[in-house]
Structure 1
Amino acid sequence: MAMDPALYGRRRERFMAELGSAAAVIPAAPLATHHADCEWPFRQNSDFFYLTGFDEPDAVALLLPHRPEGERFVLFVHPKDPAAEVWTGFRWGTEGAVERFGADIAYPLDQLQGRLTEFLDGADAIAFRVGRHPQVEPLVLQTWGRQLDRASRSGSAALGLVAPCPILHRLRLCKEPHELDRMREACRLSAEAHELARSITEPGMNEAQIQSAIEAHFRSSGARGPAYGSIVAGGDNACVLHYTANSAELRDGDLLLIDAGCSISDYYNGDITRTFPINGHFTAEQRDLYSLVLSAQQAAIDAVRPGGTAEEVHLTALTVLVDGLIELGLLSGDSEGVIERGDYRHLYMHRTGHWLGLDVHDVGAYRLGEKPANLTEGMVLTVEPGLYVSDRLAVPEGQPAIDDRWKGIGIRIEDDVAVVNGGCEVMTAAAQKSLAAMERP
């Protein structure tokens, strides 16, 4: 997809408007070593990418609302270097940073130390995320220290370091129309992969074969690849929430849980979980638990609306799950008491969703002080209740022992849901999940 410099320019303007007269230093991600001198494929820092669209390592962006027009967006980047590009690929360099990405000024990265002081002088504060950027942080602290040393003579210095994250993450939490369109694309490709996986699954296959088919679809469809480590978990493996070995044989009579989504060219992500019988037919116990999780998910999705909260979404799903588990005999007592005591947590031990965007577990507050944050148009969250029946966690005192016929059943159903005017949009609806769709004729 063609990069639109104006889109990133509008984001920078909104960010700088909230910065006031603070100066922001936003570093890109570095390359990360995999082993020896081999590096992982590069993944840009999401905050940096949100503001710049620039997808090269080690760069540093300065956002300077205290400076005059024409000096407010400065990029320090690796310069053009044919000898280096032979080994590691194309670089935009300083000219590209200005012409393609809209920087007012661009310099080679090795000039950052010498020029940082001049650009930060006059700012009331320095907005920088400490503890995350070990190559850049000493330069920022040295610059600030020099300002403080000469403050008695110059009469001015930045008053302190502030975190840019609260502003940036509030902006990122509510997606623009363009972002929602890109997320729909990520969800579409992710849903296609899930439909493909279900269509090819047979007893005797290996989890790795299914993972390979899913991730090949991501790549062949133009995505960067998986948004996170794909989970392909047959039978009892599904009761391990972050199972990623993906190496076991798929057994006749078990369920297969697949939690997988793709990341597209500009880093927006899909995140879908589906669970279905490997042989195409639920057992009675599998059907009961699947129907319960599906009912909990639908009730939770119905609770996604402007003015609601993520907490309400979770409690809606949790209440349906607990009521159903009591009815099935897997829990006992009154629903309210079970929830208050947490007596369900050996069967359902995670929250019902998370924000989704440039990061899979995307940024943004769930609470504002003592109050849950209200859902507003443009927010995107996952809705993913589940049940995991195994011997891994002790049954709480007073709750019934688990009969063997239930053990080894792990079920999660997850969709990506956007908050829209009047309600919500299930962006991953193309991935089927009804009981009928999960079984074969």
Structure 2
Amino acid sequence: MATANPVPEPLLRFLSGGWAAVVRETPAQDPRAGAWQERRARLSSQFPDRTIVIRAGHEVTRNSTTTYSFRAHSDFIYLCGAAEPDAVLVIHPAGDAELFVHAPHRLGEIEWFTDPSRSPLWAGPQVEPEELALRLGITVRALAAMPPSYTVPDDAAFDTEVSRSVARLRLVKDAFEVESLRAAAAASLLGHAELRASIPEAIREGGERWLEGTFLRRCSASGNGPGYWPIVGAGPHSCILHWHRNDGPVRNGDVVLVDAAVEGTDHYTADITRTYPTGDAFTGAQQSVYDIVQAAHDAAIASIRPGSSFHDSQDVAWATLVDGLIDLGVFRPGQRAEALDPDTMLHRRYTLHRTSHHLGLDVHDCQVIAAEYRAGTLVPGMVFTIEPGLYLQANDETVPEHLRGIGVRIEDDVQCTADGYAVLTSGA
């Protein structure tokens, strides 16, 4: 990787001339500009007489002189649509707003040649503040000109309340957001189809890492990258909830659990899990576990309707899973009540996790108010996952031996609608 060297004065003079003017198209205003403005106004109205400062965040060092790919804070994206590192959004008490971004380096400035992050020779053309203002429908100024009074104060309580207020706005998606989630879902389903087709190659060589790479290629081709790091667990790894190492073999006759999704170019992500046979079909034991999870998944989705409790679908899913575990001989019929009792929750040995969370700009969207939304009711426009699973660990002696080492999760993204629900990820 190249690094900048000191620039002698003669070279700087030589660099300062002889360049043709770059013709740039005038950007059109983004159709979402009005929505961003409305969100800012709604947030501002909750904090009369207060100035709200939201930062995009900074590039994070990976090692030495390299950084991770930058991704702006989701609240920042939600409120203005920008994604530039170090940018600052200032919302004034009346709802007016200013966006402060780095101004491009100019010819004659040494940084025009030496700054690896913002030199046009190193990093490509930089966005002009005027262009950003036209596209986003907001006043844009140079970051260097930001008044010191806009510095974020050390007020943790206010910061927390602003964060929670933005999360409440983000709970209900508008039409633009739902369309973005549909696009991310479509790209993710394509990635899953490509991954499944590559299972024979993963068996021959490459294993889980081959499948991971296959999906990541789709993430790069169709979006900003993965919405979260893929989980690719084959064989007993299918029972490990967050298996991110993805470094095991893929063997014929196993199951492979894949939890992976694309983050779209406008930063909204899907969240999809599929469980595949590595051979032509599931074995009898694998199919029996899969069918139970599928039944729980379908029953949970069928329970979704406006006004129902957020946890209703989870209760339905867990009850279906426990009934299936009784059929498999994992629980005795007389254990059903104890297995489902909120004070004992014996089923969690095999189900491990909750079956739903909100989805949007973050894979676990609005997490700062998770306890609040879990205690609430469904409203049209909410988008969330339905993801029941069973994980029968390879060394779990409470499980019949022929079922050990089988993990199955089926996850889809669902929108609550005025008359029920819409599955955004139906397909592969």
TM-score (norm 1): 0.81
Residue 166 of structure 2 is matched in structure 1 by: 168
Residue 111 of structure 1 is matched in structure 2 by: 145
Q: Deviations over 1:337-367 (max 9, x none)?
A: 2111221222111000111000011016344
Describe how 1:38-437 pairs up with structure 2 within 5 A. 38-66=66-94, 72-82=96-106, 83=112, 84-86=118-120, 87-104=122-139, 106-116=140-150, 137=152, 140-141=153-154, 163-202=161-200, 203-205=203-205, 206-220=207-221, 222-332=222-332, 333-340=334-341, 341-363=344-366, 365-368=369-372, 372-391=375-394, 401-431=398-428
User: What SS is found at the alignment partner of 1:43?
Assistant: coil
For residues 419 and 38 of structure 1, do their structure 2 counterparts lie closer, same or farther at Cα, with a shift above 3 Å needed?
A: same
Deviation at 1:61, TM superposition (A): 0.9
Residue 57 of structure 2 is matched in structure 1 by: 29
- Separation in 2, partners of 1:182, 1:201: 29
Deviation at 1:299, TM superposition (A): 0.5
For residues 2 and 425 of structure 1, do their structure 2 counterparts lie closer, same or farther at Cα, with a shift above 3 Å needed?
A: farther
User: Counterpart of 1:379 in structure 2: which amino acid?
Assistant: M
**Does the 8 Å contact 1:62/1:74 carry over to 2?**
yes
For residues 49 and 25 of structure 1, do their structure 2 counterparts lie closer, same or farther at Cα, with a shift above 3 Å needed?
A: same
For residues 328 and 160 of structure 1, do their structure 2 counterparts lie closer, same or farther at Cα, with a shift above 3 Å needed?
A: closer
Deviation at 1:65, TM superposition (A): 2.3
User: Counterpart of 2:30 in structure 1: which amino acid?
Assistant: M
Residue 6 of structure 2 is matched in structure 1 by: none
For residues 29 and 300 of structure 1, do their structure 2 counterparts lie closer, same or farther at Cα, with a shift above 3 Å needed?
A: same
For residues 334 and 230 of structure 1, do their structure 2 counterparts lie closer, same or farther at Cα, with a shift above 3 Å needed?
A: same
- Separation in 1, partners of 2:389, 2:250: 20
For residues 46 and 22 of structure 1, do their structure 2 counterparts lie closer, same or farther at Cα, with a shift above 3 Å needed?
A: same
Residue 131 of structure 1 is matched in structure 2 by: none
Deviation at 1:172, TM superposition (A): 0.7
User: What SS is found at the alignment partner of 2:351?
Assistant: coil
For residues 180 and 161 of structure 1, do their structure 2 counterparts lie closer, same or farther at Cα, with a shift above 3 Å needed?
A: closer
**Does the 8 Å contact 2:59/2:70 carry over to 1?**
yes
- Separation in 1, partners of 2:348, 2:158: 44
User: Counterpart of 1:422 in structure 2: which amino acid?
Assistant: D
Q: Which runs of 5+ in 2 are unaligned?
A: 1-27, 107-111, 113-117
User: Counterpart of 2:408 in structure 1: which amino acid?
Assistant: I
**Does the 8 Å contact 1:204/1:249 carry over to 2?**
no
User: Counterpart of 2:210 in structure 1: which amino acid?
Assistant: Q
Q: Deviations over 1:225-269 (max 9, x none)?
A: 211111111100111111112222211111011111000111011
User: What SS is found at the alignment partner of 2:85?
Assistant: coil
Deviation at 1:93, TM superposition (A): 4.2
User: What SS is found at the alignment partner of 1:250?
Assistant: coil
Identical amino acids, percent of aligned pairs: 33
**Does the 8 Å contact 2:29/2:134 carry over to 1?**
no
Q: Deviations over 1:287-332 (max 9, x none)?
A: 1100000000000111121111221111110000011101211112
- Separation in 2, partners of 1:33, 1:252: 40
Aligned residues: 381
Deviation at 1:162, TM superposition (A): 6.5
For residues 2 and 218 of structure 1, do their structure 2 counterparts lie closer, same or farther at Cα, with a shift above 3 Å needed?
A: farther
Q: Which runs of 4+ in 1 moved over 6 A?
A: 159-162
Q: Which runs of 5+ in 1 are unaligned?
A: 117-135, 145-158, 396-400, 432-441
- Separation in 2, partners of 1:59, 1:177: 27
User: What SS is found at the alignment partner of 1:294?
Assistant: helix
**Does the 8 Å contact 2:387/2:409 carry over to 1?**
yes
Residue 7 of structure 2 is matched in structure 1 by: none
Deviation at 1:97, TM superposition (A): 4.2
User: Counterpart of 1:239 in structure 2: which amino acid?
Assistant: C
- Separation in 1, partners of 2:299, 2:46: 38
Q: Deviations over 1:122-146 (max 9, x none)?
A: xxxxxxxxxxxxxx54xx24xx8xx
**Does the 8 Å contact 1:261/1:272 carry over to 2?**
yes
**Does the 8 Å contact 1:56/1:91 carry over to 2?**
no
**Does the 8 Å contact 2:387/2:411 carry over to 1?**
yes
TM-score (norm 2): 0.83
Aligned alpha-carbon RMSD (Å): 2.3
- Separation in 2, partners of 1:94, 1:219: 27
For residues 101 and 112 of structure 1, do their structure 2 counterparts lie closer, same or farther at Cα, with a shift above 3 Å needed?
A: same
Deviation at 1:201, TM superposition (A): 1.6
**Does the 8 Å contact 1:304/1:313 carry over to 2?**
yes
- Separation in 2, partners of 1:160, 1:53: 23
- Separation in 2, partners of 1:305, 1:73: 37
User: What SS is found at the alignment partner of 1:30?
Assistant: coil
